[in-house]
Structure 1
Amino acid sequence: MTNSDELTVAIISTTTMNTNTKSLLDDLNWKEKLKLPPKDNRPKTSDVTNTKGHNFEDYCLKRELLMGIYEKGWEKPSPIQEQSIPIALTGRDVLGRAKNGTGKTGAYIIPIIERIDPNKNAVQAIILVPTRELALQTSAICMELSKHIQLRVMVTTGGTSLREDISRLQEVVHIIIATPGRLLDLVNKNLAKIDSCRVIVLDEADKLLSQDYNHLLDELLYSIPNDRQVMLFSATFPLTVDDFIKKHMKQAYEINLMDELTLKVPTRELALQTSAICMELSKHIHLRVMVMTGGTSLREDISRLQEVVHIIIATPGRLLDLVKKELAKIDLCRVIVLDEADKLLSQDFNHLLDDVIFHLPQDRQIMLYSATFPLTVDDFIKKHMRNPYEINLMEELTLKGITQYYAFVQERQKVHCLNTLFSKLQINQSIIFCNSTQRVELLAKKITDLGYSCYYIHSKMRQDHRNRVFHDFRTGLCRNLVCSDLFTRGIDIQAVNVVINFDFPKLSETYLHRIGRSGRYGHYGIAISLITYEDRFSLHKIEQELGTEIQPIPKQIDPSLYVAEYQMSGENIGEKQQENSASASANKNS
């Protein structure tokens, strides 16, 4: 097909769409004649079903926009959309916190489309995102929703052709979706005219308000009119949001739907998640929370410590380094918490903890939290704690909701076995564990060669790369993640319904933390371990130590044990797990 043929097809398609749109606008039964996608009957969590019962029509939106919304498959607004859309339509600044995957994009795109004049040849809205992948994803939604209005949407990000952007800007553009650096470059070159733009959105604002982008945002906002509307959306907000609000927002309407966020420590990822919870819970008290971990800028930590800090969330090595340099003063600190204490009390950190606690007052309070405790906890208790109150809920917590299987294989058969599992299982998202960083990268390459989407993450990667992989996997941009034990502790990704131990662990606590990545927050999942001849003793030992049974994998795995669409009530699934366990025992005995 030639370029002229493609142009002809595009014109005919657009003309047809315009004709269909006009006919539907005059039709009282327009809704019945829309081309709707198949209805999504999968069970949904309360963060998208706990609505007030609004309909999109309640917001007096243009019929062309309503047509795009319904043809996208959106039936009713989610909680974040219910709270955001009517406020955003008034032009008021909005500060929205909600979990990923709950409709944040629609919460700002719908009011933007409603307020744009398609007949005005000017950039009327800017949406800033931190990555090209998110920019493309957002633009796709924007174009689908506005397809009956004929809005012109442009994506511009770093690492792409500047010449193409310049060419696009010669045409009509109503909405720009961009990363801050590229847009500012175009503005400074007088190529992007944003003096008529009265709406700017920061999506994934926690990343955009980091040190990497902060000064760029200041410059961009000074380039648009003073009577603009500013909207921030994210799952978490760093302390820098306060400075941004004071500088650029006017009486922002705050929406907070983050009540159910549950994430923990001792890697940097877990430290950041813990700080997010801490800041949300203390937002009305104005506590100052600081995160410090290895692999980040020491200069930034030193700078932050010159200000007021009430709570430090840290990895042991970095904190001790700053304490010994007399930069972090902890002589007035009377509470210390060890989260994921089994890891912190390992040989890697034990001597560091002794040093940190030595610098605290004698009348301190110490709290330890973990799913498992190694023997070293006894030494720590004797040395540093006084009559601790013990809480043990592990009889109900350890493996609830997770059905465990093993498959005996030879080492050289593992990749073939994994390929078979991918083809037979109904995977929403999966995490595959290896015992070394080298094997992580090799396996990820083999999975990609097999044709499956796959990311990998391990402790030897650069921190910013780890952050991006974690973020993208969590937001569902990739189905499979290969990782080392870096990813076993506290990470909460509820879309994961399958965990695979490509390499079987030696320790029961490692096994427990690994398979706990499935079956998060009351959902159900399966864990499958590939067992070689050398692993058989570890398998038996872990079963004994955890008081559980890992069953031989059946030819067919019941989807109701791990696929949301097939799931019954929790009681019935529990019965199903017991039936499988009894069947497995019978097979072993026969």
Structure 2
Amino acid sequence: MNSPEFSSLALKPALLENIASLGYTHLTPIQAESLPHILEGKDVIAQAKTGSGKTAAFGIGLLSRLDIGSFKVQAMVICPSRELADQVCKEIRQLARFTQNIKVLALCGGVPVAPQRDSLLHGAHVVVGTPGRLQEHLQKHSLHLEHLKVLVLDEADRMLDMGFADVITDVVSHAPSHRQTLLFSATYSDPIRKLSQSFQFKPVSVSIDTSHHHNQLEQHFHRVDSGKRVHALGYLLAYHRPESTLVFCNTKRECQDVAGSLADCGFSVQALHGDLEQKDRDQVLVRFANKSCSVLVATDVAARGLDIKDMQAVINYELPRDPEVYLHRIGRSGRAGNKGLALSLCADTELDRVKAIEDYLSISAAWDEIAPFKLSYEQRFQPPMVTLWIDGGRKQKVRPGDILGALTGTAGIAAGEVGKIDVFDKHAYVAITRPNADKALACLRNGKIKGRRYNVHRSQWG
């Protein structure tokens, strides 16, 4: 049975046309179950994981409620991390292209408060932010919620895991009681139910079984001596040759050591952990998401809220103690109907963790052999893309379309050779297919973007 089409929903024709232009035709299960209730103005509590289409569900819902002529904050989305907030912002902006007048503003930590305060003075229809920064703006009276119509709590379980319960309660206390509240969570734990009882009025419950470990996600376990773990990791990467791999470590130190060992042996690899400056973190995530880096080694905390499309493999360098963490890790591969691969290294002392996973998922672990493998330096499967850095961004009114136009215009580079474009406040990154990287670099250095010259270079980490 086919899922319903977006055209079956009572949406503005311009919004429907824009949704179609983005390639959305049929609703995903979570959209089909939740959107009709959302559009009726009901409170909804939905169990849905990242990658299920939940952002479009609440994004379309809140956009349909906006009074575009009023530059007051009418919708607010609270997210656990800056990365997720940025992704949510991008998707809502895409959905909002049916009109030029909708302003969506990100309010996240890790960047100065003053520019955000100045943007709020000029008005915004939708704000998307992290709990701490939203609370800060409310306390400083730079953010006002008296006109709020729709409140969204995205990945609510992660926010509770990160200790944001009190902050969220304080933020929500500033919102009108007569509002629509949408709560999205990957789990239906008791704390989530309590959160719903506190913030929602007669919510409609929607639950979609998005666990996919039995069908499109292959799971394999590998016995390994503790001292040979990094060699085993090298073997798995060399054998499977995934285009994009997320490697999970349990500690920051381990994360750095593993990334360093792989880099020394010619792998294209970056580390993501809590000690990184926000600028460096942005660069790492940009490079991995745009396929100019093949391997990302991360801790669980650093990877929270991370949503990278087309992740081919997840490798547990060391198994977590909690089987729910294991499930959350491997769920990042094999999304949207694509095949995924989950590989786990396990020393004899960790066999009890495998048993806990088997019990939790009701599976029998599939054990595979690892052939002897010695890590040595060689250039290993270069990523398909190269990242170029441009020293102009949103502050200079640079938009992705301007960069794409500069490359496809006089340079004659086909649009299909240009990958992901990320624009930040003061700089931008564009991914180019490796054979066209030098040509694109020369084009941007010698030409102009929107009538202005910018410094451009091949990023040292790209």
Q: Same fold (TM over 0.5)?
A: yes
Residue of structure 2 in register with 1:36 after alignment: none
Residue of structure 1 in register with 2:118 after alignment: 167
**Cα distance in 2 for residues equivalent to 1:532 and 1:174:** 56
| 2:75 pairs with 1:125 | yes
Question: What pairs up with 1:168-567 in 2 under 5 angstroms?
Answer: 168-209=119-160, 212-258=163-209, 260=211, 421=238, 425-427=241-243, 429=245, 431=247, 441-447=256-262, 450-455=267-272, 467-469=300-302, 471-472=304-305, 483-487=316-320, 490=323, 491-492=326-327, 493-494=330-331, 495=333, 497-498=340-341, 507=348, 513=354, 529=370, 531-532=372-373
**Cα distance in 1 for residues equivalent to 2:65 and 2:45:** 19
Q: Secondary structure at the match of 2:76?
A: strand
Residue identity matched to 2:320? F
| 2:9 pairs with 1:59 | yes
C-alpha deviations, 1:444-480, integer Å up to 9, x for none? 23446843355579xxxxxxx9542464568769777
* Closer, same or farther: CA 216–182 of 1 in aligned 2, 3 Å: same
* Structure 1: stretches of 5+ with no match in the other structure: 1-50, 264-399, 458-464, 534-590
**Cα distance in 1 for residues equivalent to 2:126 and 2:270:** 31
Instruction: Check the 8 A contact 1:499/1:526 in 2, yes or no.
Output: no
Q: Secondary structure at the match of 1:122?
A: coil
C-alpha deviations, 1:270-292, integer Å up to 9, x for none? xxxxxxxxxxxxxxxxxxxxxxx
C-alpha deviations, 1:54-102, integer Å up to 9, x for none? 1111112122222332232222111110111111111111110123321
Residue of structure 2 in register with 1:92 after alignment: 42
Q: Which has the higher contact order (CA 8 A, sep 6+)?
A: 2
* Closer, same or farther: CA 201–188 of 1 in aligned 2, 3 Å: same
Q: Secondary structure at the match of 2:72?
A: coil
Q: Secondary structure at the match of 1:115?
A: coil
Instruction: Check the 8 A contact 1:123/1:193 in 2, yes or no.
Output: yes
Residue of structure 2 in register with 1:76 after alignment: 26
Q: Secondary structure at the match of 2:110?
A: coil
TM-score by length of 2: 0.59
Instruction: Check the 8 A contact 1:154/1:176 in 2, yes or no.
Output: yes
| Structure whose residues are more often helix by fraction | 1
Residue of structure 2 in register with 1:377 after alignment: none
Residue of structure 2 in register with 1:153 after alignment: 104
**Cα distance in 2 for residues equivalent to 1:451 and 1:466:** 18
**Cα distance in 1 for residues equivalent to 2:252 and 2:173:** 46
Instruction: Check the 8 A contact 1:55/1:77 in 2, yes or no.
Output: yes
TM-score by length of 1: 0.47
**Cα distance in 1 for residues equivalent to 2:99 and 2:246:** 39
Q: Secondary structure at the match of 2:97?
A: coil
**Cα distance in 1 for residues equivalent to 2:187 and 2:112:** 32
Residue of structure 2 in register with 1:103 after alignment: 53
Residue identity matched to 2:34? S
**Cα distance in 1 for residues equivalent to 2:236 and 2:161:** 40
C-alpha deviations, 1:212-240, integer Å up to 9, x for none? 22222222222222211111001113323
* Closer, same or farther: CA 528–198 of 1 in aligned 2, 3 Å: farther
CA shift, 1:244, in A, is 2.9
- Report which of the two structures shows the higher radius of gyration computed on alpha carbons: 1
What is the aligned residue count?
331
* Closer, same or farther: CA 455–403 of 1 in aligned 2, 3 Å: same
C-alpha deviations, 1:493-522, integer Å up to 9, x for none? 252644668xx86649859959x99xx999
* Closer, same or farther: CA 468–148 of 1 in aligned 2, 3 Å: same
**Cα distance in 2 for residues equivalent to 1:453 and 1:195:** 44
Q: Secondary structure at the match of 1:529?
A: coil
Instruction: Check the 8 A contact 2:252/2:299 in 1, yes or no.
Output: no
* Closer, same or farther: CA 505–179 of 1 in aligned 2, 3 Å: closer
Instruction: Check the 8 A contact 2:77/2:129 in 1, yes or no.
Output: yes
| RMSD (Å) for aligned C-alpha atoms | 4.6
CA shift, 1:260, in A, is 4.8
Residue identity matched to 2:268? G
Q: Secondary structure at the match of 1:95?
A: strand
